[in-house]
Every structure is written in C-alpha cells, then in structure tokens.
Structure 1
C-alpha cells in the first residue's frame, strides 16, 4: 500500500516554568539562531517500510537540511530531493492512485504528478541543482542498518526562501525483490535513465512541510546509527522515537500543570487562613 501522509507536527518549547506540546500548527517557529525552522515527517511509499524526520532551517538565504531516516536499502545510495514549486503551485505526496500502469510500483514519473519536479538535489557535496538529481555518487548511502543521517547547509535563491513551505522532501530507492541491492530484476529499468534500475529511482518515502519546529532536529525523529559524512557534520544528537517523544512531552506538561494547580491551591489555603485570623 502506498500511503498518503498528512503529517504530524510536534513543537516543543522548553523553559524553566513550562513545557508546551502543540499539534497541527501551520506556521514557522523561531529557531535558536533567529531563523525559521520547519519539520517534515517522511512516510513510506512503495511499501518500503521507510520513514524519517527532517528539518528545514532558514536564515537569510542559507538553508540547512537535516534528515534522519530508516528502512532504506542497506549499503545503497539514496537519491533525495526537495520537490515542488516556488511559483505558488500546490503539490503533495502521492498515493496508490498514482500508479497509473498498475504494475505495483509507483515510479518517479508517476509520483511527479503529485509531488512536482525536483527543485533542489540534496547531494552530499558539489552542486545541488535539479540536474544533479541522479548523481548517485554524491547522494547519501544507507548504513548496514538501513539508516541515513544527512546534514548540509546550502545557499538558495530568494524564491526558495519565500516558498519553502511549498516544497517536499522525497527520498528514493526501494528493494522490491528483497535481495539487498538495486537491480533490474526487481522492477525493470528506470524510466529516467535506462542505465539505472527502477529500484534506484522509485520513491521510498515522502514528506510535506506541515509547520514549525524548534532548534536542532525535531522531536519525533528516529534514532540513528552510523551514517555518511555530509560535509556539514552529523546532527548534534540523535532523536527519540515519535511515540516516546510524545509521551515524554505529555508527561512533562502534566507535571507542570499539577505543580501550578498545587501552588494555586496552597495560595488559596494561605489567604483563607489569613482572612480567618
């Protein structure tokens, strides 16, 4: 089943007096450096089992992209991009209905109808132009556990800054026949480049910008093992699973609420005793 994801946004702002848990916000949050930060949840396509969390942080014309994903094909490169439009067109992640030839594999060409053309190629080095979309030698490689950890800061045009919420992250690479590599036997040749198997270019996950996040990698990400060196350094810390993050956040918020209620009750008792005296 190819799932269509509406996304889940978790925004945490921790302070000495309170912890807030907010779901479904649509605006950017102020990042630690004064820029804006957006969270993306990556949901599987092509029954890949892949999922992940990404952060887009913008300050001026500097865009920092951080991705933590799992369920990728171990030891294989994962082409990844920001798809969509900077001209106000509305794109979204695809679903099973986009498999128009009904072969059971959602190809990149079929999915492009929904998520749009490549805007930025999220390479590990060199240029990030759309033309580098198939530069698999400069794309991140999943580790032995099928995890990808990526971070890079790039200079982008002003239209990207203005329309960052209209862009989506898509990672590519599936293993349809479960033999641990991209091969033609799995799903034939790629419609984008006959020198590549379709397994190498078919989308494995997709996520839309749903709102804001704070600071470094968003809570709700995935624990990661080793990954590639992207030149921008690995994320400063691994993130906890989404369920655990929600549980911790809710528990913290509950503690703050109870503490405040007890303090209010104590104040009322004090005032009542004073009035009685």
Structure 2
C-alpha cells in the first residue's frame, strides 16, 4: 500500500498543476498503466504564449489536454498535431527559421521545420487535416485573458499511436501590435494570401513530445471537445471579419503545405 501511494504521489508531482484541478475538486487519475506524454509549449514570434499539453493513448484513442496563455483574446486559434508518422524528424523552429529576415516567422518558413498537419485539434466534429485544418469555427477561442483550456478524446490511426513521440503541437495567431485582434497593422500581409493578415496565420507557439512518459493522467477537467469561448457567443459569431480571414488563412496553410510536399517531399 505504501509503495502504491508513493507512486501516485510521484505521478501527481510530475503533472502540471493547471491540468490537475477538476472544478476545484481533488485530482482523479486514470489507470496507472495509461501513459501520458507531456509537451511544454514555447513561444514563437515573441508572442509571449506558453502552455502545457498532455497526450494519453488508450488503444487507438488519443486524449489531448491543452492549457495555454498569451493567446490573442477573443480570437480563434488554429491548433494541430504536426510531425510525421513515417520516420521523418521534424522539430519546433527557432528564430533562425525566419529566412527572409523580416522579423516574423511565417507559417511557410515554420512548416519546413515542424511539418505538415497530422491531426486538427478541433473542439467538435472530425479532426482530419484535409477537411478540418481550416475549420476555424471549430477551433478553440481564447478567453478575455488570452487563455485556452482544451480537452478532447479522438480516434486516431495506429501509426499515430506508434509514433506519438515524433509528433508535437502548434497553435497559430499572433498580436505584435497588442490590439487584441488579427489585423494588417502588426505584421502586414500574410505570405500565404495578401488578402489575409500575417497575424492570423503565423505560429504563436510550438512544443515537442518529451521522450519519457510522465505517468498516469488526470480524468476530467475541461469537458471533452471543449475550448474557451466568450460567454454567450459562439466561435462562429466571435470570428467576425477577422475570423473569416483566419478561416481562409487556415485553408491557405493546407494549400501551401501541399505545395511544399510536391516540391520538397519530406518538408511537408
């Protein structure tokens, strides 16, 4: 009994505190043989965004927990599992990936490093990269403090389970001029489409799966398939003109990545 209790306390110490509280109650854990892999989200583009992700696999179901902050308040954030299930080694980029030297790491530059979308982390509906990578109306919306809380259990392929350590999470959307919206004033036009603001398409953070499992994972927290939204306003309503641009931007992400695939093979 003592050994088992010590093991549980060790698991508790290893998990981020933000992911352990369930509506103010004590933490509840899954079976001890359910591994969880931790991702620490680190800012890109000097966004100030950071967060923690836990991935837990049982069979071919993957549960994804995300707690992030420093997002653009009230704006949708496209988020995805990136990387390869075919042995290609993708990583999160750093400032040196800004190859055109304009001070903004755009999505085209970053995709070379973090790879194509593998799974779209939507709040509802399917998660297929081709059909939901652009589904901004089903992506989480940051609250008024720029925070996102997300949990969802989704079916995945066996390849994803087998290569879970090769995948990582990327969230999109930056606000360099600090006006709490996606516009053209902060970073100009997107390289994907001049009709879109760069702020809507650029990555805000990235995190790689750590090499070792951190133990059992908490059960509960944010309801399955949910994300932070403004009170009484649906993600579709919240998006407005800026969100429409974001939706088109997400579509452009996939187009550019497909082009990169055609040209560079492993770079997409």
Both structures adopt the same fold (TM-score exceeding 0.5): yes
CA deviation profile, 1:86-118 (whole Å, cap 9, x unmatched): 001111110011101111000111011111111
| Alignment: residue pair count | 208
Runs of 4+ that moved beyond 4 A: 16-22
The alignment partner of 2:186 has SS state of helix
- Is the 8 Å Cα contact of residues 75 and 142 (structure 2) preserved in structure 1? yes
RMSD of aligned alpha carbons? 2.8
Deviation of residue 134 (structure 1)?
2.4
Is 2:202 aligned against 1:212? no
The alignment partner of 2:99 has SS state of coil
- Per the alignment, do residues 129 and 33 of structure 1 end up closer, same or farther by CA in structure 2, a change over 3 Å counting? farther
The alignment partner of 2:185 has SS state of helix
Is 2:84 aligned against 1:71? no
Query: Structure 1 regions of 5+ residues with no counterpart?
Result: 1-12, 23-29, 219-223, 235-277
Distance 2:187 2:60 in 1: 40
Distance 1:197 1:178 in 2: 14
Correspondence for 2:167 = 167
Is 2:39 aligned against 1:45? no
Structure-to-structure mapping, 1:32-111, within 5 angstroms: 32=31, 34-111=33-110
Correspondence for 1:231 = 225
Deviation of residue 186 (structure 1)?
1.8
- Is the 8 Å Cα contact of residues 152 and 233 (structure 1) preserved in structure 2? no
Distance 2:105 2:4 in 1: 41
Distance 1:194 1:33 in 2: 50
Correspondence for 2:242 = none
Correspondence for 2:235 = none
Correspondence for 1:153 = 153
Normalised TM-score (structure 2) = 0.70
- Per the alignment, do residues 215 and 18 of structure 1 end up closer, same or farther by CA in structure 2, a change over 3 Å counting? closer
